[in-house]
Chains A and B, each alone.
Chain A
Amino acid sequence: MLLIALPALYGCYGIRPSQGGGEAKTSERKIHPKDIALPKGYAIEAVATDLTFPTGIAFDGQGLIYVVESGYAYGETWAEPRLLKIGPSGKASIVATGAKNGPWNGITFYEGQFYVSEGGEMDGGKILRISREGEVTALIENLPSMGDHHTNGPIVTNGYVYFGQGTATNSGVVGEDNARFGWLKRHPDFHDIPCNDIVLNGKNYETDNPLTDDPDDKATTGAFVFFNTKTHEGQIIKGSLPCSGSLMRIPLDGGEPELIAWGFRNPYGMAAHDGKLFVVENGFDDRGSRPVWGTGDLLWEVKENQWYGWPDYSGHEPLDHHGYKVPGKGTVELLLKEHPAKPPSPVAVLGVHSSSNGMDFSTGDVFGYNGKAFIAQLGDMAPNVGKVRGPVGFKVVVVDVELGIVQDFAVNKGNKNGPASLLRKGGLERPVAVKFHPDGKSLYVVDFGIIDTSGKGTVSRKGTGVVWKITKQ
């Protein structure tokens, strides 16, 4: 009996292949709004197509539509970052372009100016101010953004530009996965930087050394240090600004960054609502020297100066909790000897690997769902981020931030969830941002386009991005 039961059980996860949504069945982008399911009384249409890696949307004082294209996508696919104005017919015209330092990850419009986060994969992150005429000014530069995760946001609130800064690594240790991402060979001296001083447990991880040609060469790497650098118990890593895994702000005219909160992994989407600041964080992956399993993406209400747990917690639970043990491997070791604080509970827990990204709140009864947060879920990058039993994300969800209840709002029709390229349909592919039009009548969804993880690497397909508009009838 045991012989039958155990393989059957473990086989569910350990033996079965990953079944993620990135394993595209087609490279063609079809547009069929009828393939998308919405709550009764809502309709969706495509208002711009053929975009290359769109990541954010903003509306100027007249309510006209502007979109940023990232200029960089996973798989080391480079393009020119662009700010586009979308005309009534969907035709795009260029307002401004950027250097080879994407991804431009988001945009907001405030008092006649656009504010854009430049991911900085090549030369470090920036916050850019762009005039309607296309004049580009960097408000801050050299953000620690050349790794796995980038400079995100921004939003303008309380008279400041708020932005997120993702971490260099998955869980604090530079490893072979970072060479596969492409950046370790480009920036071998790059690693995570804490915002305040931390004390290490001295955990080190041995891996192959992708920086040498010798296949037998090994490297040993600790947390918050260069690749192939050991750490010891009690070692203090000095904190500094700007730092990794943080939420920071700068004055509208630029200047030195001020820390708002830290201990995030990749604080991607952010929104101010009802006097509160909310951030969506992408959770850990099952990859690299210190893989972590089973941690959802998290929606946080941000309290100033709070530490939110990275690299040792998911929500209020430490990673040595048995639930985060990687199947077939040991329990995750904690990296910090002392933790800056016990993290609070998140507002909501979202799907593991859902890549819950852009967020906006409905603020009226015209569209409905007043006071609820809409979140775009780019969808899983399995198997690169770990194995999944079914596609995760590829939709827009709505969150009751009082109760922590998450419900689908826009999903593809069919007998299983997934992106259009997997389902061979014409609906949503990878929603990355959502934004309400200033008139409150419509929710716009920025759809990044096809990211195919079916081969040995990741292939992001240019010209497959779309902007959708959802309206209450």
Chain B
Amino acid sequence: MIRSKQILALLALVFLAEAFLPGCSHRSSLPLTGPQVLNETEKAGEKVFMQNCQRCHPQGEAGLGPSILWAPGFAKRFQVRHGAGAMPAFDKEHLSEKELDQLMEYLKALKKN
């Protein structure tokens, strides 16, 4: 059981890495995409993003870290909680489940815009 979980985790990590590698060509900059209309959950997620993610992924685009616009939601959630590569993990003390849910909703909105 433990071994299968580990394999699943590694698969997710590999998928995440693969998803991140090509993700530098998409833009989410508002002057390019037009204004973004966010619901209350997405607005809360935007604040979480600004406090924790913006520094390395400005507007979701590549910066210190890679673009996160192309990665699937489950991979991003896994990456936030566990960290991999250079990115640190954000545990529940730093980022509650509710905040993580809000962040994921915002990232979905950012990807759609």
Residue positions of A touching B, CB distance < 8 A: 1-2, 4-5, 8-14, 19, 37-40, 293-296, 322-323, 325, 327, 348-354, 386, 388-392, 395, 403-411, 413-417
Contacts and interface: CB of A to CB of B under 8 A. Distances in A.
Given A8-B14, A37-B29, A327-B86, 12 more contacts: A9-B85, A12-B20, A13-B86, A14-B86, A19-B24, A294-B56, A295-B55, A296-B54, A349-B51, A388-B62, A390-B61, A411-B32
B111 interface: no
B32 A37 contact: yes
Nearest to B21: A12
A333 to B, nearest CB: 18
Contacts of A416: 24-25, 27, 61-62
B7 to A, nearest CB: 6
Contact of A408 (B10, B14, B31, B67): B31
Contacts of A322: 88
A48 B61 CA distance: 31
Interface of B: 7, 10-11, 13-14, 16-18, 20-21, 24-27, 29-32, 34-35, 46-47, 50-51, 54-56, 58-59, 61-67, 84-86, 88
Contacts of B64: 294, 351-353, 386, 388-389, 392
Contacts of B54: 296, 349-351, 406
A417 B56 contact: no
A10 B13 CA distance: 11
Contacts of A350: 54-55, 58
Nearest to B53: A349
A38 B31 CA distance: 5
Nearest to B61: A417
Contacts of B30: 39, 407-408
A1 B10 contact: yes
B72 to A, nearest CB: 16
A411 B13 contact: no
Contacts of B67: 389-390
A2 B10 CA distance: 7
A328 to B, nearest CB: 9
Given A4-B14, A353-B64, A405-B47, A389 B55 contact: no
A351 B86 contact: no
B32 A354 contact: no
A400 to B, nearest CB: 9
28 contacts: A1-B11, A2-B10, A5-B17, A9-B13, A9-B14, A9-B16, A9-B17, A9-B84, A12-B20, A13-B65, A19-B24, A322-B88, A327-B86, A348-B50, A349-B54, A350-B54, A350-B58, A351-B54, A351-B64, A352-B56, A353-B63, A354-B58, A389-B66, A390-B24, A405-B47, A407-B30, A411-B29, A416-B61
B31 A389 contact: no
